[in-house]
Amino acid sequence: QVQLVQSGAEVKKPGASVKISCKASGYTFTSYYMHWVRQAPGQGLEWMGIINPNGDYTTYAQKFQGRFILTRDTSTSTVYMDLSSLTFDDSAVYYCASLDPRHYYFDWWGQGTLVTVSS
């Protein structure tokens, strides 16, 4: 059974950083890209970035450039996202989603992690 299990909810102050993990199981971790997507309250989903199977290639949406970093640890089948300089607008549910590079759809998703930015 394929699972993407994300770390728990976070509450952060403006200006702080948040790191969320996404642990995969049930499939060949190194064969899939991992995307990150977020959904702010009352808003649609927004693509944030991608990391390749080897972890040596990443690309990020322009609006997150400079404060968003993806890394992966193949020994634990875990991908991490790090978002810094948080503002109130970063309050959202963050999802990881795996994608076979031969395809153009997200095979599996994590359950989501709620990040609340509050003073």
Partner 1 sequence: QSALTQPASVSGSPGQSITISCTGTSSDVGMYNYVSWYQQHPGKAPKLIIFDVSNRPSGISSRFSGSKSGNTASLTISGLQAEDETDYFCTSYRLGSTPYVFGSGTRVTVL
Residues that bind partner 1 (CB under 8 A): 4, 35, 37, 43-47, 50, 61-62, 95, 97, 103-112
Toward partner 1, which CB reaches closer, 12 or 109?
A: 109
Comparing CB distances to partner 1, the nearer of 56 and 104 is 104
Q: How far is the CB of 40 from partner 1 (least distance, A)?
A: 11
**Whole-number Å distance between alpha carbons of 94 and 34:** 13
Task: Provide, rounded to whole angstroms, the least separation between the CB of residue 59 and partner 1.
Answer: 8
Written as one letter, the residue type at 58 is T
Tell me whether residue 27 or residue 109 sits nearer to partner 1 (CB atom): 109
C-beta neighbour count of 116 within 10 angstroms: 15
Q: CB under 8 Å, gap of 24 or more: what pairs does 100-106 form?
A: 100/31, 100/32, 100/33, 101/31, 101/32, 101/33, 101/52, 101/53, 106/35
| Least distance (Å) between residue 26 CB and partner 1 | 13
Residues in the chain: 119
Closer of 4 and 83 to partner 1 (Cβ)? 4
Closest distance of CB 16 from partner 1, Å: 25
The helix (run of H) or strand (run of E) holding residue 96 is: strand 92-99
